[in-house]
Amino acid sequence: MSAGTAPARRVLVLNGPNLGRLGRRQPEIYGTTTHDELAERCVAWGAELGLDVEVRQTNHEGVLLDWLNDAADEAVPVVLNAAAWTHYSYAVFDACAQLTAPLVEVHLSDPTQRPEVFRHTSVVTPHAVAVVAGKGVDGYRDALEVVAARLG
Pick from 12-21, 56-65, 106-115: least confident: 106-115
Per-residue pLDDT tens digits for 84-130: 999 999 999 999 999 999 999 999 988 887 767 767 689 999 999 99
Residues 6+ apart with CB under 8 A from 112: 119, 120, 133
18 labeled binding residue: no
The residue that leads in pLDDT, 45 or 25, is 45
108 labeled binding residue: yes
CATH topology of domain 9-151: Rossmann fold (3.40.50)
Known catalytic membership, residue 107: yes
Q: Are strands 103-107 and 78-81 parallel, antiparallel or unpaired?
A: parallel
Per-residue pLDDT tens digits for 65-87: 999 999 999 999 999 999 999 99
Known catalytic membership, residue 30: yes
Asked if 58 and 89 count as a contact pair (C-beta separation under 8 A), the reply is no
Q: Are strands 9-15 and 130-133 parallel, antiparallel or unpaired?
A: unpaired
Angle between helices 35-48 and 138-151 (to 10 degrees): 30
- Report in angstroms the alpha-carbon separations of 107 from 19, 112, 124, 138: 11, 10, 11, 10
Task: Flag whether pLDDT at 2 surpasses 60.
Answer: no
119 labeled binding residue: yes
Single out the catalytic residue among 30, 35, 127, 140.
30
Q: How many helices (H) and strands (E) in the chain?
A: 5, 5
110 labeled binding residue: no
Q: Which amino acid is at 42?
A: C
